[in-house]
């Protein structure tokens, strides 16, 4: 197994890995499965135009569930997407 060099910065490391194979430097057979259970999914902000009465209904229903209305919208979207 090869010895991993010391890198001056992230750019030097990126250039190194573009030309080298990780299996030459690490024993992949000794790798262990890990879970990162506290990671959050990446999100992207969007702008969504809704009729005022629809937004008001969403806010009322979200309030009845004691959750933010944006979270309620995400729940509705997730439910609809999982049906498909």
Q: pLDDT tens, 10-27?
A: 999 999 999 999 889 888
Residue 49 within a domain: yes
Residues 8 and 26 in one domain: yes
Decide if 62 contacts 69 (C-beta within 8 A): yes
Q: Residue 75 belongs to what domain range? A: 42-84
**Whether the predicted pLDDT of 42 surpasses 70:** yes
Residue 37 within a domain: no
Distance CA(3)–CA(16), nearest Å, equals: 13
Long-range contacts of range 31-35, CB-CB < 8 Å, 24 or more positions apart? none
How confident is the model over 54-64, as a mean pLDDT? 98
Q: Which range is least confidently modeled, 27-31, 51-55, 62-66?
A: 27-31
pTM beyond 0.85 = no
| pLDDT at residue 84, as a whole number | 59
Q: Which string of DSSP letters, residue by residue, matches 12-73?
A: HHHHHHHHS-GGGTS-GGG------TTPPPP---------HHHHHHHHHHHHHTTS-HHHHH
Residue 12 within a domain: yes
């Amino acid at each position: 197994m090869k010895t991993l060099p010391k890198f001056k910065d992230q750019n030097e490391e990126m250039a190194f890995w573009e030309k080298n194979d990780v299996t030459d430097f690490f024993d992949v057979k000794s790798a262990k499965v890990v879970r990162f259970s506290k990671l959050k999914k990446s999100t992207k902000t969007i702008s969504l135009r809704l009729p005022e009465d629809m937004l008001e209904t969403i806010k009322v229903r979200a309030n009845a569930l004691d959750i933010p209305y944006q979270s309620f919208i995400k729940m509705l979207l997730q439910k609809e997407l999982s049906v498909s």
